Structure 1
């Protein structure tokens, strides 16, 4: 969840560190800091709040150096204070930044106190700094000291370490949290995300579990979990600087909402250019893996979980095989009954979501050997751990509240459902043509939904003063109601819940009154008449309805019933189109309330801790 950046060069790296931290702000954080060695002293500046506040302090203190590390922290151990902010320094000599959680930090803290170390923070990270310092003080070089220290850590970590006694190197290590090395000319970098160093290099090495890297100006050496030298593949990142800039938009969330037609078109390009719904879309040996499965188990968190819930309707209706969807953080801790013939599908925007990664590992331990990752970030951890992968090609998503990642996940999952149906002999040529045409027209339908924005702005102004909201949907649109409620509470801080509309009379109806807006996803499908009956239940209790429907539905606005019509009903892909209005409603409600849309309080983009 936190962000790491480090640099060693012949030039001043302070601007590199600060620019890298600014590019990591989207991940979510509450404090920031840098530590640099200026040739004489290890200097540090930390601030709670935004990177810009830390930057101003670094400029005021005239920071310049050719070696340094930086960090944006999202508080876990210890509150949001300057003392708890990273980097942490041991005896003024050695600095550490850390992502993850060290589970045995209390045990190590007591041991280190016995060795004469004092602690200035409440964090687990300070334990790492002192532990490495202890081993270095015993005469070991920095690389060996880091190796000795990490062997004693239980939990997840990505760390970067610099020492005033070895100013020509930077050591990085990872276990359970993402970390990469950036390769330059006469300079090298480390980061938790390629966006932090893209202004300096596109050539990166993704460290594997247990790897340690010795990063110097002249080159990089990588060692595996056993300490043996190993060659890791060098990748050239295709992340563009333009994708990391706001351009004409007010917020990244707004930009990413409006990028969805392009993102969807890019995601379906291989389907449109190929031979329809082919197993080859999912990788080598996909026909063998997908053809042998008789069920699907989806594991995901947050917005990705709602994408999986939508996929369940598609997979069971189209492919005719059972599908279950579980929250990854729950699945990994329960005694699941495994069916090795089921395909494990993990969904993650970042490909580094810790709970989802651990759930995949747990599934494998139960005997599941068929796995597929739906992911937006090439070469991230979850795709590398999966047999098959479908990349959503949404491009960099900076806003914490996911938008284009969600709709492209839906497209990928629909493609999976249709492909499984084809392998099961349940997809006729006529139906395949129908589905391909629906996909072909989807970017245009999404653009039409985006054109509803002016109408949604007026709704958002009515939502702004409210404290609670209810979202309703039925069938395949129930997960879209869940996603709408999540978006609203994520960025506007309006408490919102979602229910299947048929569940109103089983409890939620007690909450309905004139002060609670009720948002209804009501496309012109087979359940529309049922949804209309549920709407009447709301009106009978004085509730105010805000209904997203289709152009060809047969009802309109009335007293207490506000209606916005999306384009004509687009059939099986309707959930993708109806995701757009609820995203826009949340965005404009947040604007009206004056919240920080891209960086909502307490949340992070990439959740790499439990």
Structure 2
């Protein structure tokens, strides 16, 4: 959430700042602004709403300057408004901030008592006042920032610009990511490599507690103890071309249709189809034969991927799995030991709750691993072993291709764990690897059901609530389907284990209630169909997602059908995720909601 960009450039930076901010829209925001040094003096433009409003403000009243900072804000302290939008400008300093200053009330009271005029409802404004106080006392900008950083509790990424300092920008991070980009005679700050991709592929990531003093000639980095440190420069694989929707109406549509390719890329890192074996780099760092349990933890859709992973690890590796939301695990003081392997899932690798839970488990002695889409991220760097998904940048806030790539990694890990623990023999491993290798082909076939889904989405758009039902690994998919519908269309939806229907949710069934049933023709198909018949008997409107055998076996029940290919049970949750995504997408498109940036949501949740 929120996005930061800063440029020490060679030409006018305001248009470049806005272009960079557009690449951070996927993180979620409700206001935006830029500040530059125009003739050595701080100038600022801000706007509520989308970046087009900021562009209009700049077109009406342009600002020049070769140094500047920009920000997309997702409201936390204080509602979305021009007044609360960043950058905040006080006296001789402008600042942009991602995160939350937890002790801002005490700091605000202090600076108000000293005579400061507080203009906004934000926690960030106090940072600007604190730095300005230090400048007024005679300290240089670098000394002023060094003086106030220890006073800030909470999570923050900060970028500062100063009156009269055309060749200076200062950044700091604690709990929120901040990257430095190196150009030819230029220097950049950004929340991630995506924002900086049009400018450079040479990136340095600040580590926890670091702060950096940048000029066009280079950057000096200090750690939390104010000691000068060296941080490695890496070459980013992110390119600005990946930010294009191509021929698709939305990024979500593009990302759903990329799934066969990116799942294939991901699996190629973890399985050897010709040898019919799992081949996972770094697996020797996890003693699967010796550990007593796996702890799986994540947030949002990543948590639902973990739920499916639990079924796989317990079935194919006979490993007990405990699973929890990261936001709960981090606070409930769960017993963790060196006999545990704690595995965390995050698309961005920066999710605040997930990172805190990882650090807790590591502190308690567990070996920690992560499944992450961004190898340079904090979670990846702090893991003992990390498994990269090859989804590429996911711009739509609602996760699609990252989710199915996470499932691909979990499936491969479960197979290798089963082999290492002696649960699977060589032939059984080979059969499962053959099945995993077939996923991209099945995904291509699943995408062909889109034409059948569109008219069903039109019907679903008239509902005010919906239920999703599934058994076994289709139960977490029912939760995922309900989550996607809520995120994108704002229709209330709930997912349930189909066997729980009679234990409460059946009271909701009437002729206005759509019920989406996920039921491939497997060993428990008849059980799920019996639940579906209970829905039909009460007038519920059924959408059945199944295969041809399932469609033929349920001819006596009135329903709408989405028919998928006959998929092996092992990989069914990966393939059945696709129609669930398409159904939510087309419902939202028909209703006219903002598919790529749903209201109130942020892509990367870097605060609690």
TM-score by length of 2: 0.98
Provide, for residues 316-359 of structure 1, a one-character-per-residue CA deviation record: whole Å limited to 9, x for no partner.
Answer: 00000100110000111112122321100000000000000001
User: 1:573 corresponds to which residue?
Assistant: 571
Contact 2:101 2:155 in 1 (8 A): yes
Paired with 2:230 and 2:567, the residues of 1 have a C-alpha distance of: 53
Paired with 1:317 and 1:440, the residues of 2 have a C-alpha distance of: 20
Give the paired residue count: 606
Paired with 1:45 and 1:305, the residues of 2 have a C-alpha distance of: 39
User: 2:81 corresponds to which residue?
Assistant: 81
One of 368, 371, 374 as aligned partner of 2:371: 374
User: 1:414 corresponds to which residue?
Assistant: 411
Provide, for residues 97-137 of structure 1, a one-character-per-residue CA deviation record: whole Å limited to 9, x for no partner.
Answer: 00000110000001111222111100000011111111122
Q: Once superposed, what is the RMSD of the aligned Cα atoms?
A: 1.3
User: 1:19 corresponds to which residue?
Assistant: 19
Using the TM superposition, give the Cα deviation of residue 16 of structure 1 relative to its aligned residue in structure 2, in angstroms. Answer: 1.4
Mapping 1:550-569, distance limit 5 Å: 550-553=547-550, 554-557=552-555, 560-569=558-567
User: 2:296 corresponds to which residue?
Assistant: 298
Contact 2:30 2:74 in 1 (8 A): yes
Contact 1:7 1:13 in 2 (8 A): yes
Provide, for residues 390-428 of structure 1, a one-character-per-residue CA deviation record: whole Å limited to 9, x for no partner.
Answer: 101100100000000000000000111111111101121
Whether 2:62 is the aligned partner of 1:62: answer yes
User: 2:447 corresponds to which residue?
Assistant: 450
Whether 2:425 is the aligned partner of 1:428: answer yes
Provide, for residues 424-478 of structure 1, a one-character-per-residue CA deviation record: whole Å limited to 9, x for no partner.
Answer: 0112111111111111111010110000000000100101111110000001110
User: 1:513 corresponds to which residue?
Assistant: 510
Contact 1:204 1:236 in 2 (8 A): yes
Contact 1:546 1:563 in 2 (8 A): yes
SS of residue paired to 1:299: strand
Contact 1:77 1:124 in 2 (8 A): yes
Contact 1:4 1:99 in 2 (8 A): yes
SS of residue paired to 2:438: helix
Whether 2:527 is the aligned partner of 1:530: answer yes
Q: Which consecutive residues of structure 1, in runs of 5 or more, have no partner in the other structure?
A: none
Paired with 2:84 and 2:588, the residues of 1 have a C-alpha distance of: 30
User: 1:2 corresponds to which residue?
Assistant: 2
Paired with 1:320 and 1:19, the residues of 2 have a C-alpha distance of: 50
Paired with 2:154 and 2:287, the residues of 1 have a C-alpha distance of: 33
Mapping 1:228-267, distance limit 5 Å: 228-267=227-266
One of 375, 391, 395 as aligned partner of 1:394: 391
Using the TM superposition, give the Cα deviation of residue 165 of structure 1 relative to its aligned residue in structure 2, in angstroms. Answer: 3.4
User: 2:604 corresponds to which residue?
Assistant: 606
Contact 1:282 1:389 in 2 (8 A): no
SS of residue paired to 1:268: helix
Paired with 1:104 and 1:452, the residues of 2 have a C-alpha distance of: 52
Contact 2:288 2:421 in 1 (8 A): no
SS of residue paired to 2:473: helix
User: 1:356 corresponds to which residue?
Assistant: 354
Contact 1:297 1:325 in 2 (8 A): yes
Alpha-carbon distance change, 565 to 284 in structure 1, aligned in 2, over 3 angstroms:
closer
Q: Which consecutive residues of structure 2, in runs of 5 or more, have no partner in the other structure?
A: none
Whether 2:466 is the aligned partner of 1:469: answer yes
Instruction: Please identify, of 160-169 and 558-567, the stretch whose mean Cα deviation from structure 2 is larger.
Output: 558-567
User: 1:206 corresponds to which residue?
Assistant: 205
Contact 2:510 2:540 in 1 (8 A): yes
User: 1:127 corresponds to which residue?
Assistant: 126
User: 1:29 corresponds to which residue?
Assistant: 29
Instruction: Please identify, of 163-172 and 487-496, the stretch whose mean Cα deviation from structure 2 is larger.
Output: 163-172
Contact 1:468 1:517 in 2 (8 A): yes
Contact 1:203 1:235 in 2 (8 A): yes
Alpha-carbon distance change, 427 to 137 in structure 1, aligned in 2, over 3 angstroms:
same
SS of residue paired to 1:552: helix
User: 2:193 corresponds to which residue?
Assistant: 194
Paired with 1:67 and 1:422, the residues of 2 have a C-alpha distance of: 56
Using the TM superposition, give the Cα deviation of residue 583 of structure 1 relative to its aligned residue in structure 2, in angstroms. Answer: 0.1
Alpha-carbon distance change, 276 to 220 in structure 1, aligned in 2, over 3 angstroms:
farther
User: 2:168 corresponds to which residue?
Assistant: 169
Paired with 1:282 and 1:386, the residues of 2 have a C-alpha distance of: 14
Paired with 1:271 and 1:208, the residues of 2 have a C-alpha distance of: 29
User: 1:151 corresponds to which residue?
Assistant: 150
Paired with 1:476 and 1:247, the residues of 2 have a C-alpha distance of: 33
